[in-house]
Amino acid sequence: MAPPLLNLDGIRLTFGGTPLLDGAALSASAGERIALVGRNGSGKSTLLKIAAGIIEPQDGEVFRQPSATIRYLPQMPDMEGFASVRAYVEAGLGPADDPYRATYLMEHLGLTGEERPDDLSGGEARRAALARVMAPEPDILLLDEPTNHLDLQVIEWLEDELNRSSSALVVISHDRRFLERVSRATVWLDRGQTRKLDKGFAHFEEWRDTILEEEEREQHKLGRQIVREEHWLRYGVTARRKRNMRRLGELQTMRQRFRGHRGAEGVATMVASDAAESGKLVIEAKNIEKSFGDLTVVKGFSTRIQRGDRIGLVGPNGAGKTTLLKMLTGELQPDSGSVRLGTNLEIATLDQKREAVDPQETLGHYLTDGRGDNLVINGEERHVVSYMKDFLFKPEQARTPVRELSGGERARLILARVLARPANLLVLDEPTNDLDMETLELLQELVAGFAGTVILVSHDRDFLDRTVTSIIAPDGEGRWIEYAGGYADMLAQRGGTRLNDRRAVQKQAGDAPRAESTPEAPKGPAKKLSFKQKFALESLPGKMAAVSASISTLENNIADPAFYERDPKGFQKTIAALDKERATLVSMEEEWLELEMLREELEG
């Protein structure tokens, strides 16, 4: 194996309290492609900064090959002092580097180079920073959340560019599909220490779960061994004093190991606060259009969104996703056409820019909107500290100012407030930004299982595939088309072309974009289950088992003859919950049966 260009070993760093890094390691050789993963706040960005030489560890060894060039992409690029994007990008080049490489990257990232850094949006600043670190074609690229604020078109281009590059790569990202496509090894930073898997991110979750299960078994065995040793010391046959002292010392060591074990990080619990059921028709749009000057953003678009639909909006930045979203929800009037909203709608919105948060405001005050220490979730009053724990905040953080939160913690806080509002229509604009993998999984389950309707804008292809029932995507000149299924299903219906390939394919084929706003009917029956159908077929049995267990618990509660006399209101609530769970189980069973019959038909 080639000698490492970069090697960190035994890295330790503490900012007071529990060590952030406690013996962490990271090594990268020529051409290696490493995904660096871990929970928000686990120290991933700090470890990457140590690798880049920006932060010095308190202990441990840091080796960088003297002849190796390293470039680091921070989450927040600093462009102060540069008159133009070109000046900023070219400042990253070395004396022997090709300046045309910088021009090539800026062109493909949609930049002219003449832009003023002060005028850039978040996405433009990220693209400029990418051009700067990639232009020298360094030996090692250290990328911290490179896909943040990028649209799908640029993300897909970046994947291809990185896969063609000869640079070694260490990347932090919340975008699963991106990590799967660019990584060949995975380093997991957990509780201050690192473990390495010599496979790409696609294999990470199964590997992680196996490790955590084994760790739990070992901790359980250690606990039982301690109990046996304590029993022996109290009641066992007296042996030589020297042996007793040795076993007592071993017992104390085992106790220290048991008490000192840092268990796996907590898991967030996300539950949306349900409102009363909306009407069956949620939104109906007929031939809506919207233009800004000479630019037509939406042209002749029609759709019917019904209760229970989960719609994903995708497309390049500037294509008009937010404009279309605002027209569909009644926030913006179309120039022509009509939008009709259904009855009894309660809308909760997570804006892409996130709602304004006073950095001096405390977490508890923000979540309750200043109305005491309690809030109502699904009809039940809960203390704010209890609700905060569901989103992995510690009790003492109730009085912490928002300014002290990390980006991931702030994303969780805003999500907690949105989900506390009673709603039967969730409108989520880039909800996955800054969330770690575990929190992302729970949000995914919440969206997929939400009883109401969901409209979401996202650049996260994996999240879309696992949650939505249809995709609305642009087709050029203001036209939008709705496709059944998730993102992968949309690609299949477009003939396998990605968003950044679409216009080129149309031009080569001499095929102008279609005017209609619905996809052409498929020419023949599907030959296999869609990604979404496969996911549902595999996940439904586990969900049905969980609901069945819940039903059994509720039935046992009702069977208590003293329950009604003791708590009549609680008894009625339990009856209502039992009816709801039974209806849910019936619905799940019907869905599973239909999918299983479809699978057998396709395979038979």
Q: Residues marked as binding for ATP?
A: 38-45, 315-322
The answer to whether 152 touches 181, Cβ cutoff 8 Å, is: no
What does the alpha-carbon distance between residue 532 and residue 525 come to, in Å, rounded to a whole number?
Answer: 17
Angle (nearest 5°) at CA 588 between 583 and 591: 125
The Cα 150–Cα 168 span in angstroms is: 22
How many angstroms separate the CA atoms of 580 and 600, rounded?
30
The DSSP secondary-structure symbol of 423 reads B
Alpha-carbon distance values, 417 to 271, 281, 312, 411, 414 (Å) = 11, 27, 22, 10, 5
One-letter identity of residue 432: T
The binding site consists of 38-45, 315-322
Distance CA 84, CA 203 (A): 42
| Integer Rg of the chain from CA | 27
Structure tokens of 281? 């028709």
CA distance 542 to 393: 28
What lies within 8 Å, CB to CB, of 603 at 6+ separation is none
Distance of CA 69 to the CA centre of its chain: 31
Handedness of CA 118, 119, 122, 128 (dihedral sign): negative
Q: CA nearest 288: which of 277, 298, 274?
A: 298
DSSP 602: H
Closest listed residue to residue 179, CA positions, set 26, 36, 314, 27 = 36
Do residues 286 and 298 lie in contact, with contact meaning Cβ atoms separated by under 8 Å? no
CA distances from 505 to 437, 497, 510 (A): 35, 8, 8
State how far the Cα of 582 lies from the Cα of 558, in Å rounded to an integer.
Answer: 14
Nearest residue to 489 (alpha-carbon basis) of 519, 510, 458, 516: 519
Under DSSP, is residue 181 helix (H, G, I), strand (E, B) or coil?
A: helix
In this structure, is the dihedral angle defined by the CA atoms of residues 495, 496, 498 and 503, taken in order, positive or negative? Answer: negative
Rounded to whole angstroms, the Cα distance separating 56 from 50 reads: 6
Contact 514, 481 (CB under 8 A): yes
Q: At 171, which helix (H) or strand (E)? A: strand 168-172
